[in-house]
């Protein structure tokens, strides 16, 4: 569907959006999008770090069974 737009079509869309919303509104919108992307990346990074920490802690807690424990 979007394969047939091409460069002239994208330029036309950009001009229409600029006329409708104005430069200031688009600038503030892009700033908010950037903040959202940054927050998302930070959340993903924190989540993966938390999972790694939990796995490392779980690996430390595992102790091998001895002959005494089996009986």
Model confidence, pTM: 0.54
The CA distance from 14 to 10, in Å, is 6
Indicate the angle between helix axes 6-21 and 23-61, nearest 10 degrees. Answer: 110
At residue 56, the pLDDT reads: 85
Phi, psi dihedral angles at 21 (to 5 degrees):
-100, -25
Q: What is the mean pLDDT of each run of 10 residues along the chain (71 residues)?
A: 79 90 87 95 93 85 62 54
At residue 44, the pLDDT reads: 94
CB atoms within 10 A of CB 26: 14
At residue 60, the pLDDT reads: 79
At residue 4, the pLDDT reads: 81
At residue 46, the pLDDT reads: 93
């Amino acid at each position: 569907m979007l394969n047939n737009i091409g460069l002239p079509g994208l330029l036309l869309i950009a001009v229409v959006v600029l006329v409708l919303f104005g430069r200031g509104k688009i600038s503030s919108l892009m700033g908010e999008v950037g903040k959202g992307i940054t927050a998302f990346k930070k959340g993903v990074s924190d989540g993966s770090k938390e999972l790694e920490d939990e796995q490392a802690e779980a690996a430390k807690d595992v102790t091998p069974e001895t002959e005494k424990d089996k009986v």
